[in-house]
Amino acid sequence: MNAVVAAVAIMLVLSLCRIHVVVALIIGAVSGGLIAGMSLEATIEAFNNGLGGGATVALSYATLGAFAVAIGKSGLAHALADKALALVGRQEEGAAVNGIRFLIIGLLLAIAISSQNILPIHIAFIPLVVPPLLYVMAKLNMDRRLVACVLTFGLITPYMFLPVGFGGIYLNEILIAKINANGVDASGLSVMKAMALPALGMLCGLLIAVFFSYRNGRTYNLETITKAERVDTSYS
């Protein structure tokens, strides 16, 4: 059997058995090397060389599941959704409800930014935090396109502008490292200054989405929320 095919097959089987993806990847790679007739030392060396300069990124992304599970088990998303729904039930349509809309937008933005630079979980928070809020956002007539714009800004802009967390990996260990590897002296380059213009463009896009494009909201039929979403929210 081809060693590569065997390694991929082993990794897939272990993943289907709910073995952590990092463990499945390592076992599959080592198994493939041994099947190919390589020694254990040569297999490990080949594995390390294959990861190369992106090892930090690969392993960081691979461990996101552990953070995601911790957030899900905390019940924070459901508590937030229940609190927001209670506030909606006590308020009349108008300025108070608009305040709740902006509160949800602000919280989602803060979580998205934190997922890049403070608690490095990247996009793993989305399926844990957003689904419990879908029913609340429908009750508030919040345009989901606005939510998508807020999440996109929070996930991308800090990543490409702030040299902290995943931003530090991207700017220092990937961008600057590749520039230096191609023979360009980047010792005096300020990455934040270089990325300020695209980050400003992202900010302008966010402001336009919040205050102009999707300001008026959108009406959703609550009956169209899927059964899975209703079960997940726990308050329907």
Domain end (from 40, 62, 84):
62
Phi, psi of 189 (to 5 degrees): -85, 130
**Which ranges of the chain would DSSP assign to H, the alpha helix?**
3-16, 21-35, 40-51, 55-62, 64-74, 76-90, 95-117, 126-139, 144-161, 166-168, 177-181, 191-194, 196-208, 227-233
| Host domain of residue 131 | 64-233
101 & 22 share domain: no
- CB 130, CB 147: distance < 8 Å: yes
What average pLDDT does this structure show over 50-58?
58
Q: Is the pLDDT of residue 19 over 80?
A: yes
- CB 147, CB 112: distance < 8 Å: no
Q: Is the pLDDT of residue 236 over 70?
A: no
- CB 192, CB 163: distance < 8 Å: yes
pLDDT digits (tens, 9 = 90+) for 186-208: 777 788 888 899 999 999 999 99
74 & 179 share domain: yes
What average pLDDT does this structure show over 139-162?
90
218 & 203 share domain: yes
127 & 222 share domain: yes
115 & 53 share domain: no
Q: How many domains does the chain have?
A: 2
131 & 198 share domain: yes
pLDDT digits (tens, 9 = 90+) for 61-88: 555 655 666 666 666 666 777 777 777 6
- The chain-wide mean pLDDT, for the chain, equals 78
Domain end (from 62, 77, 95):
62
19 & 77 share domain: no
200 & 135 share domain: yes
Give first-to-last CA distance, the chain, whole Å: 53
Whose tokens are 């080592």? That residue is 30
Question: What is the structure's pLDDT at 49?
Answer: 72
